[in-house]
A and B are shown apart, each in its own frame.
Chain A
């Protein structure tokens, strides 16, 4: 009998991991609803404040309606790209739950990827549904009907989710060495308020800050996909720069993950009981 190909095995493993992740999420649907509420309050608050500031007219090109579209985009993209794995890893390493995960024939990251897909798919779909319903009653939040642009946006959201995932996962794995790995995640979270465009479109930030931001991963994980959806990204140069930034940072964080994972596992073996 021919040996099963690795791809087929991995596919079956993913089917099983996804199924179990879905079932767990279904069990904890009330908790997930609460996380969802928590996730959208930040864009709602930012939107409310900009709405009040824009009462007197457009703010650097953003009208009240423009802010509404932007923050709907932020809520959607943020939900689809969230990263919480660092906290899980921190707990697993501290409480010894990492041990049985290391004995499995499949690396723990696959379980995390399945969890991420099972959680983000349905919850992002809920936000999308709210956006669609809202745009029936509130013309201001309608985005132009351009399927090509939407497809490009979906690709950018996928890449953004991958960058944030490996970024969070690799940072979280530093818990092999330090008990304060989650503090590093929080630090990035704080910086991303500004550099990712979470509290304001990047064009409202001081130009020098934006200039620095483009050399980091922050704008590519939120601002870029959102601005594709809202129509702020127009020229092919902007698209090219955005996707190039995404690919470069995805490669960097993927490599960093591999580095930290191989080293950290050895380090853990040396001290773990």
Chain B
């Protein structure tokens, strides 16, 4: 308990410095906002193109898919704000030996490495994404009740846990494959599949996305919660998946960290 409090104190100090630094680069905020709006527009045009030739994708209507797109954007916003600048930097630290400086600190190394840096401007992606979901939801004309909101909050938290676990897993490989610089690219490749409901994919891919690379739990499930198609039992399973993913990645991290011998220098 004391360790956790100590870690939080250290992190808060880092975030404060980090915030002051980011304030100097306010131009980046406008640039990243424009970029997000542009890519959201491209994504919506893509969906519009598909729906020019069909009336549903895996049982989802146009606005339902846009709800999911909003969730996708919010989730990648979390990735860009926290994960990429934090744990995404791990392979570089392993290669250069900078991880030494983390390990000697009296804090939990995984926790510290994961949350040491925030690209605060990218939080705008989360806001834009959730805004798009809300707008699309209004277009579907569905009423949104308490259950929808609560189950969305729970399943979105699960989605963050799953995405975080994927990052921890990929980045832990850096301890084995020191020369591989672009491990994060594997995440970028895989997560692109989460732009569409998992039911739109052929059976074999669907199996992969539910059980092997669990991205079905990252966007399809929270968007199902919002559009009122989520079975309560599936929500329970989502929580199980989230906890299991966190546990498994924590285990892998500990095994991986034992391999670290420091680059020295």
Return chain A residues, CB-CB under 8 Å to B205. Answer: 48
Q: Given the complex of chains A and B, what is the CA–CA distance between A60 and B53 in angstroms?
A: 8
Identify which of B39, B58, B182, B195 contacts A34 (C-beta below 8 A): B182
Whether B54 and A53, one on each chain, are in contact in the complex, defined by CB atoms closer than 8 angstroms, is yes
A270 touches B (CB below 8 Å): no
Query: What is the CB-to-nearest-CB distance from B171 to chain A, in angstroms, rounded to a whole number?
Result: 13
The contact string, 1 if C-beta is below 8 Å from chain B, for chain A 154-194, is 00000000000000000000000000100100110010011
B201 touches A (CB below 8 Å): yes
Question: Assuming A45-B193, A60-B53, A190-B42, is B202 touching A52 (CB within 8 A)?
Answer: yes
Query: What is the CB-to-nearest-CB distance from B195 to chain A, in angstroms, rounded to a whole number?
Result: 8
Whether A34 and B202, one on each chain, are in contact in the complex, defined by CB atoms closer than 8 angstroms, is no
B196 touches A (CB below 8 Å): yes
Return chain A residues, CB-CB under 8 Å to B231. Answer: none
Whether B192 and A45, one on each chain, are in contact in the complex, defined by CB atoms closer than 8 angstroms, is yes
> Which of B16-24, B110-118, B183-191, B232-240 lines the interface with chain A?
B183-191
A41 touches B (CB below 8 Å): yes
Return chain A residues, CB-CB under 8 Å to B192. Answer: 41-42, 45
B153 touches A (CB below 8 Å): no
Q: Given the complex of chains A and B, what is the CA–CA distance between A182 and B77 in angstroms?
A: 20
Return chain B residues, CB-CB under 8 Å to A38. Answer: 185-186, 188-189
Q: Given the complex of chains A and B, what is the CA–CA distance between A204 and B45 in angstroms?
A: 13
A71 touches B (CB below 8 Å): no
A37 touches B (CB below 8 Å): yes
Query: What is the CB-to-nearest-CB distance from A104 to chain B, in angstroms, rounded to a whole number?
Result: 25
Return chain A residues, CB-CB under 8 Å to B193. Answer: 41, 45
Whether A52 and B200, one on each chain, are in contact in the complex, defined by CB atoms closer than 8 angstroms, is yes
Whether B46 and A186, one on each chain, are in contact in the complex, defined by CB atoms closer than 8 angstroms, is no
Whether A41 and B201, one on each chain, are in contact in the complex, defined by CB atoms closer than 8 angstroms, is no
B179 touches A (CB below 8 Å): yes
B104 touches A (CB below 8 Å): no
B38 touches A (CB below 8 Å): yes
Q: Given the complex of chains A and B, what is the CA–CA distance between A37 and B192 in angstroms?
A: 12
Return chain A residues, CB-CB under 8 Å to B35. Answer: 183, 186
Whether A194 and B49, one on each chain, are in contact in the complex, defined by CB atoms closer than 8 angstroms, is yes
Query: What is the CB-to-nearest-CB distance from B238 to chain A, in angstroms, rounded to a whole number?
Result: 23
Whether B202 and A48, one on each chain, are in contact in the complex, defined by CB atoms closer than 8 angstroms, is yes
Question: Assuming A51-B202, A53-B50, A183-B35, is B180 touching A31 (CB within 8 A)?
Answer: yes
A28 touches B (CB below 8 Å): yes
Whether B190 and A30, one on each chain, are in contact in the complex, defined by CB atoms closer than 8 angstroms, is no
Chain A residues with a Cβ under 8 A of chain B: 27-28, 30-31, 34-35, 37-38, 41-42, 45, 48-53, 59-60, 180, 183, 186-187, 190, 193-194, 199-200, 204-206
Chain B residues with a Cβ under 8 A of chain A: 31, 35, 38-39, 42, 45-46, 49-50, 52-54, 57-58, 177, 179-183, 185-186, 188-190, 192-193, 195-196, 200-202, 205
Pull 17 A–B residue pairs with CB atoms less than 8 Å apart, ordered by A: A31-B180, A34-B180, A34-B182, A34-B183, A35-B182, A35-B185, A41-B193, A45-B193, A45-B195, A50-B50, A52-B57, A52-B58, A53-B50, A59-B54, A190-B39, A199-B46, A206-B52
